[in-house]
Amino acid sequence: MKRTLCRVFSAVSLLGLPALAGAAETSVDSTTILRIEQRDNGAHKDTLLPATEFLSLDATRLADGNLSFHFYGWGRVDLVDKSFNEDRAAGSLSYGYLQYRFKQANGDIRLGRQFIHDGINNEQIDGLSLHSDLPYGFGISAFGGANVHTTHIFGENSDGKGDGIGGGRINYRYGGMLELGASAVYESKAPTLLQHTNGNHRLVGGDVWFSPHKVLEVLGHTTYNTETSHIAEHSYLLNLKPVQRLVLSGEFNEQNDRSYQYSWAMFSGTTSPAAHGPLASSGNTSRNYGGRASYQVAKLVELSGDYKHYQRAIGHANRYGGDLKMGFSDNQIRAGASYHYLDAGPGFAITPNPSGSYHEMRAWGMYDSKSFTGAVDFINYLFKERVFNEKQAWEVVGSLGYHLTPQLFLSGDVSYGRNPDFSEETRGLIRLTYNTTFSTAGGKK
């Protein structure tokens, strides 16, 4: 049933294609990537040559001018060795839907495969969604349909998702300073898995945005899992602009792992009392908080520093450092450098390695003109304790691009590095990007 629903909704979303010939405006964005990579882990070498196509299309002002069609998908073919899992070819329709915008109440309706980002809801569905403003500052949105089944779990005949999903949000907005929202999502009963345990995806929660003055902004949300009867997540962000060119931010995030990951079969170790292994012993609550300060020293010079603390039952860590970004020649040339250190306590890495602490150093430069682009990026990790007898991991990446025409851009990347997994790793890719917009008459805009 669920596969049938997915096909039906995807097919319905593509019904708008015949109308594209009469579209007032159609934008096409195509990126073709040929990736070249050689891996040497000491025992054998693999040569990877996957060709990947990313295609997006947006047709607006259809029918009476309020209808539009939106599409994005990708496909991959391996030309030599297999680059991922056991499939030589793969692809996915990320979204493909028709949208109609109403002239009143900021209303719109979407039909087809789509992403839902509204309040606590972050879902991908094959179905229907709608939104409308209401009187006195209120608003309402709702969605429903079939889950998109894209993940393959080893040893299972299901990805652990239910057949159908639905939810919505009610919000209240006061002027340009406050918005409060209440959301819910309900997924049909999760299927029984053979080698994993998983729960039902059913959540409720609230979100807030508050900005009484341009110097202050607070936003965040809290989620409650109705299946486990516990708070699943708190996530809040504070932005301050006390003086010109200075931005201060602070964040707090907390997840109750057995409620936050309850419906995720790949993390079922956190939901089962009889589970074993590092995930089962990782404790019930993970938390991180920190802050960042950014100051624009000059028009094209920015200096920033940041700190973040991570805490869970089996360990903790602190990450801190800074970034320097510079621009020259009216920002045609840009460069930067950064340093960060992760100071991890015992057991934080959840690996056989004795320590998860490392230094991270990075330096980069970019050049961008109407005809050419170029970039170089170097990143180096120095481990406090050796990982597979390696003291560090590093990589250098170089990029070069040329505009063949205003709509056609040819570029390429090449990288070389060493790390604990590969004694040598060489990668490269060739990228061809085409984007243009056509008017009703078929002319380019």
Q: Are 108 and 100 in contact (CB under 8 A)?
A: yes
CA 336, distance to chain mean position in Å, is: 24
pLDDT of residue 193: 81
CA angle 72, 410, 441 (to 5 degrees): 55
- Residue 85 predicted with pLDDT over 80: no
The amino acid sitting at 363 is A
Residue 12 pLDDT greater than 50, yes or no: no
Sign, CA dihedral 131-135-138-144, equals: negative
Three-class SS of residue 270?
A: helix
Which residues partner with 214 through β-bridges? Answer: none
Q: Among 289, 296, 288, which residue's Cα sits nearest to residue 241?
A: 296
Q: What is the pLDDT of residues 202-259, one digit of tens each?
A: 999 999 999 999 999 999 999 999 998 999 999 999 999 999 999 999 999 999 988 8
- The model's pTM: 0.83
Please say if the pLDDT value at position 445 is more than 90: no
Residue 266 has pLDDT above 70, yes or no: no
Distance of CA 382 to the CA centre of its chain: 27
* Digit-coded pLDDT (tens) for 351-370: 666 678 999 999 999 999 98
> In 3-state terms, what secondary structure has residue 266?
helix
Using DSSP's 3-state secondary structure scheme, residue 21 falls into: helix
Of all residues in the chain, the percent with pLDDT exceeding 70 is 86
**CA distances, 357 to each of 242, 345, 420 (Å):** 34, 8, 15
The tokens describing 206, both together, are 């609230």
Cβ-count burial of 165 within 10 angstroms (0-12 exposed, 13-18 middle, 19+ buried)? buried
Share of the chain above pLDDT 90, in %: 60
pLDDT given for residue 432 in this prediction:
93
CA gap 37, 417 in Å, rounded = 12
For 378-435, how does the pLDDT look when each residue is reduced to its tens digit (9 = 90+)? 999 999 988 888 899 999 999 999 999 988 999 999 999 999 888 888 889 999 999 8
Task: Please report the domains of the chain, with CATH numbers, ordered by start residue.
Answer: 2-277+397-439 (2.40.160), 283-368 (no CATH)
